[in-house]
Structure 1
Amino acid sequence: MSEAPSTSSVCYRHPGTETMLRCSRCEKPICPKCMNDAAVGFQCPDCVKDGRRSQRQARNAFGGSLVAGRAGYAVRTIIGLNFLVMAVSVAFGGLRAIAGAGGFFNTGGAQTRVTKAFEVLGYARYGGDWHGIAAGEWYRLVTAMFVHYGAVHLLLNMMLLWQIGSYLEGKFGPARFVALYFLAGFGGNVAVYALQEPYIPAAGASTATFGLVIGIIIVNRRLALDISSLVPLLVMNLVYTFALPGISVEGHLGGLAAGAAATVVLAYAKLPHRTAKQVIGCSILFVILVGIAIARTIQILN
């Protein structure tokens, strides 16, 4: 006995599955596994992807990516880099790179080949050669913000970075947050180079995190949010800077000043051409900091 041929279509993604459903956008046949709820009817996976690509990306109040900012990619990456550098430092310097080499309650870590190579150092002679920024090792102005003298030094900075940085990345987006973090850290290291004796080393992410502390106050002020709970945080960090021995006052205050300037640029740039204004403002700040470092180099070498 013969059967009438089926009038059902087959799903375009699953040829073995008959279906009476069709995509409301492109009208291709789809099975229940492939259908996605839409405002009208159902859509196939391809049309859903096309719709997402054509959708305008959500932006935060300062022009950054809202979704990426909330994911915290930049903060997680920076923290990972700091822990990686500490691991390398321990590999070269042993467990005393973590603690037991002096400092506050003997919690400071010993210097290692890694800290000596990447800390802020103006100009000093060791190992038979001259080293430091004035000797051409300009990379130190960047690398020093990833180097720490012991685990306590690292953990305190990373805790502050996680708490404040996550909030600021959510407000700015990853790219603008990285610009703020870099300029604050770079500015603090330039201040160390310009104001400290050239033979005194310094390192740590606190130059950058101090910039974040003032940054969160400026951002909340810009958004008309309450800042009363944030001012004590700034005061506490300033007291910590001046009260404890071995703290680079110049680095902390330099990071504070550079972070404040960068935050003002990022938070107060207005439409139209907001991104261009932010890029230009941050670039000008970077050039000023480089100019200060060049002037200090000329002063040391002369």
Structure 2
Amino acid sequence: MTIPTAGPTAVCYRHPDRPTALSCTRCGRPACPECLRPAAVGAHCVDCVRDQGTQQVTRPGFGDRGVRPVVARVRTARRPIATYTLIAINVAVFAYTVYAAGSFDVQISAPLLHGELVRGNVILGEYWRLLTAGFLHYSLIHLAVNMVSLYILGRDLEIALGIGRFVMVYMIALFGGSAAVMLLQGNETRSAGASGAIYGLMGAMLVVVLRLRISPAPVLTIIAINLVMSFTIPGISMAAHVGGLIFGAAATAAFIFAPRLLPASGRSESAANIVGWSGAALLLVTAIAISVIVAVTYSGPIMVYIR
């Protein structure tokens, strides 16, 4: 479904100085892109998003005989709870590594050495590293940069996607970054950090602005700058960043664009959710499967980092 358009002289109901051709698919009020949030079908204004968090709503469905009611309970985020929770987890894990190391030189910390992503260790069967590496950091600056990025990207994306979809996109990007590391990095190369998942949020933001028909230039510029840094600055895991970016964008597209492939007669809230979550689940399984397949089929020499 395309977003219904308002009249050519309409203005945003929250920003009277902003002409807009878009409107909320639930209440019909004209709204500018800043005041719209993607929904499983169409886009909703911020007030409808807030109301939907606790109410049952009736939405238009699509059938051969015209519009019919579709009742669904919509769970959206009023506050970026998942974003704050992910930040808290990362900070708590870093605090534990500092405690275990006895100093801020956490690279000698046992939790880091046993949890960072080292391809050779995963080949030997330590599959938990595919997940734990995404919550470990090598320094306070490393942690701070990633958490600030997570806060900036996560607070808006979580409101737009909802808590469940946002967490799913984050985890798919995390495992997608790990899959890229398994495919492209050496057996002894160490990598850790939330940046793979954060690049996934950049990809997610790009998909969201495209869906809302906002100029993607600012997001593309941010992505380009960060990719150039990944390729040029030594010690940065280019594979994890690119893998996270691709999988994060693909997961968001599964939620936002895949339901539009449904025939008009079957395009309902429940059908859209099934299609979106099925596509996201397939991406998650694919990311994990890539890492496992690389590990079990590897037959070369194994060198791991030992300290």
TM-score by length of structure 2 reads: 0.69
Which residue number in structure 1 is paired with residue 273 of structure 2?
Answer: 275
Which residue number in structure 2 is paired with residue 265 of structure 1?
Answer: 254
* Correspondence 1:113 to 2:101: no
In 2, distance between residues paired with 1:57 and 1:295?
44
* Correspondence 1:164 to 2:144: no
Task: Give the 3-state SS of the residue equivalent to 2:188 in structure 1.
Answer: coil
Q: Deviations over 1:48-81 (max 9, x none)?
A: xxxx99941699xxx9523xx2311100100000
* Correspondence 1:146 to 2:135: yes
2:296 to 288, 295, 298: 298
* Correspondence 1:134 to 2:139: no
Task: Give yes or no for contact 2:117–2:129 (8 Å, CA) kept in 1.
Answer: yes
Which residue number in structure 1 is paired with residue 213 of structure 2?
Answer: 224
In 1, distance between residues paired with 2:54 and 2:230?
50
Which amino acid is 2:275 matched to?
Answer: K
Which residue number in structure 2 is paired with residue 56 of structure 1?
Answer: 56
How many equivalent residue pairs? 227
Structure 1 residue 226 displacement after superposition: 2.8
In 2, distance between residues paired with 1:79 and 1:285?
24
Between Structure 1 and Structure 2, whose CA radius of gyration is higher? 1
Matches within 5 A, 1:192-231: 192-231=181-220
Which residue number in structure 2 is paired with residue 89 of structure 1?
Answer: 97
Unmatched tracts of structure 2, length 5 or more: 1-51, 60-72, 260-266, 301-307
In 2, distance between residues paired with 1:111 and 1:58?
56
Structure 2 CA distance for partners of 1:54 and 1:262, relative to 1, 3 Å = closer
Structure 1 residue 268 displacement after superposition: 1.0
Which residue number in structure 2 is paired with residue 49 of structure 1?
Answer: none
Structure 2 CA distance for partners of 1:212 and 1:54, relative to 1, 3 Å = closer
1:175 to 145, 164, 168: 164
In 1, distance between residues paired with 2:145 and 2:95?
16
Task: Give yes or no for contact 1:64–1:176 (8 Å, CA) kept in 2.
Answer: no
Which residue number in structure 2 is paired with residue 65 of structure 1?
Answer: 75
Task: Give the 3-state SS of the residue equivalent to 2:216 in structure 1.
Answer: coil
Structure 2 CA distance for partners of 1:53 and 1:248, relative to 1, 3 Å = closer
Out of 262-271 and 204-213, give the one that drifted further.
262-271
In 1, distance between residues paired with 2:238 and 2:118?
15
Structure 1 residue 280 displacement after superposition: 0.9
Structure 1 residue 162 displacement after superposition: 0.3
In 2, distance between residues paired with 1:259 and 1:53?
24
Structure 1 residue 301 displacement after superposition: 4.4
Higher relative contact order (CA 8 A, sep 6+): 2
Structure 2 CA distance for partners of 1:94 and 1:275, relative to 1, 3 Å = same
Which amino acid is 1:65 matched to?
Answer: R
TM-score by length of structure 1 reads: 0.70
Task: Give the 3-state SS of the residue equivalent to 1:71 in structure 2.
Answer: coil
Out of 147-156 and 283-292, give the one that drifted further.
283-292
Task: Give yes or no for contact 2:197–2:244 (8 Å, CA) kept in 1.
Answer: yes
Structure 2 CA distance for partners of 1:58 and 1:249, relative to 1, 3 Å = farther
Which residue number in structure 1 is paired with residue 144 of structure 2?
Answer: 155
1:247 to 207, 227, 236: 236
Structure 2 CA distance for partners of 1:72 and 1:58, relative to 1, 3 Å = farther
Structure 1 residue 223 displacement after superposition: 1.2
Which amino acid is 2:174 matched to?
Answer: G
Structure 2 CA distance for partners of 1:243 and 1:168, relative to 1, 3 Å = same
Which residue number in structure 2 is paired with residue 80 of structure 1?
Answer: 88
Unmatched tracts of structure 1, length 5 or more: 1-51, 98-108, 124-131
Identity percentage of aligned residues? 33
Which amino acid is 2:236 matched to?
Answer: I
In 2, distance between residues paired with 1:289 and 1:145?
14
Task: Give yes or no for contact 2:55–2:74 (8 Å, CA) kept in 1.
Answer: no
Task: Give yes or no for contact 2:53–2:74 (8 Å, CA) kept in 1.
Answer: no
Q: Deviations over 1:221-244 (max 9, x none)?
A: 111123222222111111211121
Which amino acid is 1:56 matched to?
Answer: Q
Structure 1 residue 291 displacement after superposition: 2.4
Task: Give yes or no for contact 2:54–2:75 (8 Å, CA) kept in 1.
Answer: no
Task: Give the 3-state SS of the residue equivalent to 2:284 in structure 1.
Answer: helix
